[in-house]
Amino acid sequence: MTPFETALAAPNIHVGIIGLGYVGLPLALRFAEQGQRVTGFDVDPAKPEKLHRGESYINYIPSQAISIALAAGFEATTDFSRLGECDALIICVPTPLGKHREPDLSYVERSTEAIARCLRPGQLVSLESTTYPGTTEEVVQPILEASGLKAGQDFALVFSPERQDPGNTRFGTHNIPKLVGGVTPACLAAGVSLYARVIDQVVPVSSTRVAEMAKLLENIHRAVNIGLVNEMKLLTERMGIDIFEVIDAAATKPFGFTAYYPGPGLGGHCIPIDPFYLTWKAREYGLHTRFIELAGDINHAMPEYVISRTIAALNAHGKALKGAHILLLGIAYKKDVDDLRESPALELLEGFEARGAKVSYCDPHIPHIPALRRGHFAHTSLPFNSQTLADCDLALIATAHSAFDPQLIAQNAPLVVDTRGLLRGPQPTVWRA
């Protein structure tokens, strides 16, 4: 047996999670819940501090879950020199895009380099960060093997893409099937053994490249279909047809149709970013992925379309955008979560302010917009009530949080631009966008 097969055969192992964000923290809590010793690593000292106080910084993870994990032995640290203590190390760090839409693997590379400095025989390393096919073998493996140890002999190396859906109450870490691909059959077996401790269904695939591509396909499928429905929204608006009614009608077909809904643009860490990881990699093989890039262009243009509809709505009611008070209802990228990553509402905020509007926002899940997100734009959420709605010139529904009462909006906001289909039926002060 290899050293890692022996180490991972123990009933209880020490698991290290690198990156305690929307992916890493739920995974860490799940391992702790199942009786494994867990250490979380993060470069942000505020996260370990909050966790050790029993505080959650993700709105859909209750603080009680943190306290239970702490009682079970969970700890968090910024001390990456302790990586060598763990039997399994799981990398859950961001993979953003650079300014030219090229992959930025700096977080993955730095995490891997930190592991390489502590790597010992018997450990397993799993990359969960979404990336292009080949990353595990072409980027991660050489960094780790520079230590003198070999993947498949001394340590195991796998790719197992995260499949988190923030705020989903039906599917969580434990019951979302887990894909695993290894650089060798022994690595694959070790990866399956690791995740089978905490995941109901583990799905092995033949290679890390298959697992990497499968994750991209999942998100590109969504991005392309959202691009399609966003383009349909542009058409139906000109034709005087309610796109949301059209989608609901089409969704009554019990086969061959999946409902996707339009919005003010794409948000979250995956869907606005992942397609461009593949388009970038495709150029290495001499292929221009036109279909994927077209969907990206359509989705990327939606915030400007929403701004143009807002200008038209104000003009129709005798007002200019410059000097108008715009109230953004929702600043998070998704309903009922506190996640700002790539939120199109932030683009709307910037776009309106750049055109001279006064912009406020209301989001019960995000009390403040961190300065690091918007530079000099300092904003604090206003309360959602009739007075807040009445005080604006136009309320723009950017995120359909459950806390937003459609009737209260319709009765109190002087003018509404609805990008989420929250207000249905013909209303003279409601514009669709």
| Helix ranges (DSSP H) in 317-419 | 344-354, 371-374, 386-391, 406-412
Do residues 188 and 126 lie in contact, with contact meaning Cβ atoms separated by under 8 Å? no
| Helix ranges (DSSP H) in 240-379 | 243-250, 274-283, 290-300, 302-316, 344-354, 371-374
Identity at 392, one-letter amino acid code = C
Q: Which of 86, 92, 187, 270 is an active site residue?
A: 270
Q: Which of 181, 157, 105, 135 is nearest to 284 (CA)?
A: 135
Strands 37-41 and 14-18: parallel
Q: Which of 218, 220, 215 is nearest to 180 (CA)?
A: 215
The DSSP code sequence of 158-195 is EE------TT-SS--TTTS-EEEEESSHHHHHHHHHHH
Mark whether 270 is an active-site residue: yes
Three-class SS state of 362? strand
- What's the rounded Cα separation, in Å, for the pair 360 and 358? 7
Catalytic residues: 270
